[in-house]
Amino acid sequence: MELREKLEILADAAKYDASCASSGTEKRDSREGGLGSTEGMGICHAYAPDGRCISLLKVLLTNACVFDCAYCINRASSNVRRARFSVREIVELTLDFYRRNYIEGLFLSSGIIRSPDYTMEQLVRVARELRETHGFKGYIHLKTIPDADPALLAEAGRHADRLSINVELPQPASLKALAPEKDAGQIRVAMAGLRTRIDEAKEARAEASVTRVALAGGRRAAAPRFAPAGQSTQMIVGADASTDATILDVSSNLYGSYRLKRVYFSAYSPIPDAAAALPPAAPPLVREHRLYQADWLLRFYGFTAPEVMAGGEGGMLDLEVDPKLAWALKHRAAFPVDVNRADREMLLRVPGLGAKTVDRIIAARRVRSFRMADLARLRVSLRKVAPFITALDHHPRGGLLDRADLRTLVLPRDGLAERNAILPAGLLARPVQLPLFAHV
């Protein structure tokens, strides 16, 4: 099979893995030798139509697999075209694409061939040859196999910037039913092992930063390197009956127990000749989007999973509005919030105020009081925040927070009447030209 044909098959097969971000690693470049960089314009990304961030060279070593996971297009019983790269082919593709300025990094995963150990050994060989033979200093993300020998996982961490192990499904019972060759307990054990090694490497780097070795001419001692960008995981959404509440509870546990950098969500895509246990249709893509927004609230806005779910119904997030707005609409007694006096924790709960905007408000209000025009200069959506805040020149119109139709008023609308109903006097919305592809 020609190399181009392999690339078409194995790049397409990799699209189902959402955990392809390249952030969070150490700064590294090739100015003192080697090849590649993780800085500046750095890692090149493409964005799929559904909004997923995809590395330009994101491939599988092979889409052949001895496992028969019911939800996977590459399962053993699937009738798909198979292909396999050699270690040398992956290495040369990465280097050639880098030299052509197509990519700055590699995301590499694989189906299970022969055994977990053999497959993991092949993945490690790719990373080792790039680093040690070719001096490649760009970003490398390796998808690791929980059943592989811990020594192989340890070597993977020495070469890769980030490692990831997919938990696959939110509930162990679902994993056992749909992927009987996989063990939820073993996945957690492997993640715990990675966390321990990552923590040890961080502690060693911290010690090395303040320890100087006399025999090294005063230079800092080299610290051991292990996955400096941490570990991540992925859950498939909609392949089983798990609610959003269950998914967010699992996510919270994963962040707390294993210090993950990210939990990625991937909406289930129906596959040919699917098992009867799988749903016949994909979940709404907006469900995946709402889960990502909820995940953001958990990581950066101080929300707990139960608080996020309080904005939904029946264990599911509200698909019509974002989770923070949904929470605010059900906790109107907490508003309005005075932007000139409220603490950071409360400002982070105001719909329309992001974490960076809140920090700018807190820094600026030390020297001046905020008016609505000041918020507008920070590019805050006045229509969204107006019902939930007070400012020097603004207080929500009488009874606005108690209105039964408040939800309707804060939903995105193109009409001037709806927007002006909640904006303060003197800041009425002006007609704007609609974008060509706006939904009307």
Identify whether residues 262 and 364 lie together within a single domain.
no
Identify whether residues 234 and 364 lie together within a single domain.
no
Cα 426 to chain center, whole Å?
A: 40
Identify whether residues 170 and 99 lie together within a single domain.
yes
Identify whether residues 378 and 235 lie together within a single domain.
no
Other Cβ atoms less than 10 A from the Cβ of 124: the count is 24
Identify whether residues 394 and 270 lie together within a single domain.
no
Domain hosting residue 397, numbered range: 331-420
Identify whether residues 253 and 342 lie together within a single domain.
no
In a domain, 305, yes or no: no
In a domain, 20, yes or no: yes
Are 352 and 381 a contacting pair, CB within 8 Å?
yes
pLDDT averages per 10-residue partition of the chain, 440 residues = 89 77 49 45 41 66 94 91 95 91 87 95 97 91 94 95 94 95 95 95 82 54 81 94 96 95 91 85 92 95 95 94 95 96 97 95 94 94 93 90 89 51 46 37
pLDDT for res 222: 63
Residue 85, both tokens: 């790269």
Degrees, nearest 5: CA angle 387-392-397 = 30
Identify whether residues 263 and 132 lie together within a single domain.
yes
Q: Phi, psi (5° rounding) for residue 20?
A: -120, 10
Identify whether residues 46 and 182 lie together within a single domain.
yes
Exposed/middle/buried for residue 439 (C-beta within 10 Å: 0-12, 13-18, 19+): exposed
Express the helix, strand and coil content of the chain in percent, nearest 5 each. 40, 10, 50
For the chain, give me the number of helices (H) and strands (E)? 16, 10
* CATH number where 177 lies: 3.20.20
In a domain, 196, yes or no: yes
DSSP 29: -
Identify whether residues 191 and 59 lie together within a single domain.
yes
In a domain, 425, yes or no: no
In a domain, 310, yes or no: no
In a domain, 438, yes or no: no
Identify whether residues 263 and 387 lie together within a single domain.
no
Identify whether residues 191 and 103 lie together within a single domain.
yes
In a domain, 307, yes or no: no
Identify whether residues 43 and 178 lie together within a single domain.
yes
Separation CA 417–CA 403 (nearest Å): 16
User: What's the domain count of the chain?
Assistant: 2
In a domain, 390, yes or no: yes
Sheet hosting strand 58-60, strand order edge to edge: 58-60, 105-109, 139-143, 162-164, 231-237, 262-267
Separation CA 53–CA 34 (nearest Å): 27
Cα 344 to chain center, whole Å?
A: 24
pLDDT for res 422: 47
